[in-house]
Chain A
Amino acid sequence: MRPRNDLWHFSGTREAALAVLLFLYMPIVALVAMSFNVGDSLTIWSGFGLRWYEVVLDNDDMLRAIRNSMLIATIATFSGTTIATMAALAFARGSFRGRRVIEGLIGLPLVVPEIVAAIAILLFFVLIGFRLGLVSVIVAHSTFTIPFAFLPIRARLADMDPSLAEAAADLYANDWQCFRRITFPLIWPGIAAGAMLAFIASLGDFVLAFFVSGPGATTLPVYIFGMIRMGITPTVNAISTMLILASVALLSLSYLLGRRFR
């Protein structure tokens, strides 16, 4: 729709972007390659084989950890992003009293060192009698993903043109309609980015998940960190490769669905 205009083209950005993508994916290629290692080293190649994939698929505890992580990350992302979106919207229209304090409050989970937050929340849960399990991790993660989702959405909402909302109001749209048809589509990239950051934050978290989980609720990062003592095997590479494939599958799925419903 927009004509490809050379005025928008800043020389060097494409090269920089491609270099960055290369940088991002170099270790991933190495990682995926090592998942096919026959030996048990993550860094010494001994030959090609699918041994570690078999080990993963045969190990119930590992599979449960993967399932737990996916479940927790999905739910925590959803709730964290929703809460963050609502909060960001509240900030969108001008200043209000207590704004700085609330901003600081929302950013608080970022500042606290993970181990301190984890033990603090555990002590708190025990104090109020909240039973540890999968739900306790979901609650903790939902809280801690809020700032990750909040910041991109807030960045998106900053300097949002207020005349659009005024026009909508002039046309008799109520708040919900205004949100659904004007605001939401405009901030959607922010929400998507926020959700992605929240998701990877939750998926990668080890400390919080360890301390507030109950029996049976071990997550993937916890499981992997627990392998350090006896030596990490390429099962970790195999799992990571499978997760990457799953994410690519998810992307393709949403792409296809997108085309269907357009």
Chain B
Amino acid sequence: MKRLALLAALVLLPVLACPTLVAAQSKELLLFNWSNYMPPELLKRFEAETGIKVTLDVYDTNETMLAKLQAGGTGYDVVVPSGPTLQQMIRDGMLVNVDVGKMSNFKNVRKPFDKPEYDPERGYSAPYLWGSTGIAYDTALVKGGKLEDTWKELFDPRPELVGKVGMLSDLGEVFVAAAHYLGIDICTEKPEDGQKILDVLTRQKPAVKLYNASGTADRVGAGEVAMQHMWNGAFFRAHKKLATLAYIYPKEGLNLWGDNLAVPKGARNVENAKVFINWMMEPKNIAEASNALGYNNAITGSSQYFIDAMKDEPAINTPEEMVSRLKPTRVCGKANTDMRNSVWTRLRR
């Protein structure tokens, strides 16, 4: 008994001796984000320049973040939702209007990110990073060394690639890609459209090795898959490991997604949040985030600070002629969401 108590004391002592968690101070910012979606050095620089200490709390997907906030788990000052989630939050009245459009650095935001469909006056949000979802493949494994710029290569793979295809698992990505391929509106609510998409995906399934969105860069870099439905930033990381990789911007259109900074209701340090958001629209600062994470941003003047690898990478630095192929995500109606779920469940039942 005695030894148990002593042991417990020894274990707990160093733990309890550590300074207790933040009581409400005025110079702090509670950031709710993915773990590694803002470089620690950048946040340290922010603290040095403004004196505001950033504390990071983490979520793993937009949906779990949304579910938590909807269920009442509030208290965070800045949150980083993707476009559709942001639109949802605005509609539900979950955000504080901080008038981003009137902030001093807002002039740096370039079109079309300054007037997005989901927040036309940028009252609630500032753009952060954006990316596209295209097709990555290993040119060394393809006869002829080149694939066509079309989704057909992914959904109807060539014989040498069968069984070596990786797909994402995000409903928003897989369904949308198939919809673009078939020329169907991504927000369609017609059951026949859903059936067509399901047919395409079902036909593709035997050729698919796995449906998973995590570890894509490793998987492609290690040669586990020869072709992967992939985010361009993950492609950039994989490209560094395997030089023979190439990225396709399919001509039928590909998904353009963007993340934003917003202030949820229940935030305790709204003023600090505004300072943070404004600071993040500074070209030099956002460029540091881009360089560290491998994704492009929406601020003019930041590309001059990009590292060369980023400037030279067409997957990140989208060439002029490919820009029109980028199709922004949209929030669709309930019937569309149900149809997507139904397709997804049917595909994997």
Contacts and interface: CB of A to CB of B under 8 A. Distances in A.
When A and B assemble into the complex, do they touch directly, with CB atoms less than 8 Å apart? yes
A98 interface: no
A71 B56 contact: no
A47 B7 CA distance: 39
Nearest to B62: A229
Contacts of B32: 215
B48 interface: no
A136 to B, nearest CB: 9
Contact of B75 (A40, A64, A132, A218): A132
A228 B36 CA distance: 9
Interface string A187-228: 000000000000000000010001111111110001111111
B217 interface: yes
B73 A132 contact: yes
A218 B40 CA distance: 16
A261 interface: yes
Interface in B217-246: 217-218, 221-222, 233-234, 237, 241
Given A70-B15, A122-B71, A213-B57, A41 B221 contact: yes
Contacts of B237: 40, 231
B215 A42 contact: yes
Contacts of B18: 67
A253 interface: yes
A126 B40 contact: no
A210 B40 contact: no
B55 A61 contact: yes
A42 B218 contact: yes
Given A134-B21, A258-B3, A67 B15 contact: yes
B324 interface: no
Interface residues of B, number: 49
Given A44-B221, A216-B21, A228 B214 contact: yes
A90 interface: no
Contact of A217 (B21, B221, B293): B21
Contacts of B61: 229
B71 A123 contact: yes
Interface string A74-98: 1000100000000000000000000
A214 to B, nearest CB: 6
- Dominant SS among interface residues on chain A: helix
B35 interface: yes
A225 B218 contact: no
Contact of B40 (A42, A59, A70): A59
Contacts of A218: 56-58
A159 interface: no
A210 B64 contact: yes
Contacts of B222: 41, 43-44
B26 to A, nearest CB: 15
Contacts of B67: 119, 211
A225 B58 CA distance: 9
A220 B7 CA distance: 23
Interface in B24-50: 30, 32-37, 40
A58 to B, nearest CB: 7
Could you say which of A41, A206, A230 has the most chain B C-beta atoms within 10 Å of its C-beta? A230
Nearest to A68: B21
B72 interface: yes
A24 B270 CA distance: 49
A245 interface: no
Contacts of B1: 180
Contacts of B3: 254, 257-258, 260-261
Contacts of B71: 119, 122-123, 126, 211
Given A215-B76, A218-B56, A226-B58, 5 more contacts: A132-B73, A213-B73, A216-B55, A222-B59, A230-B37
23 contacts: A41-B217, A44-B218, A59-B40, A67-B15, A78-B8, A119-B67, A123-B72, A126-B72, A132-B73, A134-B21, A210-B59, A213-B73, A214-B73, A214-B75, A215-B32, A217-B57, A218-B58, A222-B58, A223-B35, A225-B60, A226-B58, A226-B60, A254-B3
Interface of B: 1-3, 6-8, 10-12, 15-16, 18, 21-22, 30, 32-37, 40, 55-61, 64, 67-68, 71-73, 75-76, 213-215, 217-218, 221-222, 233-234, 237, 241, 293
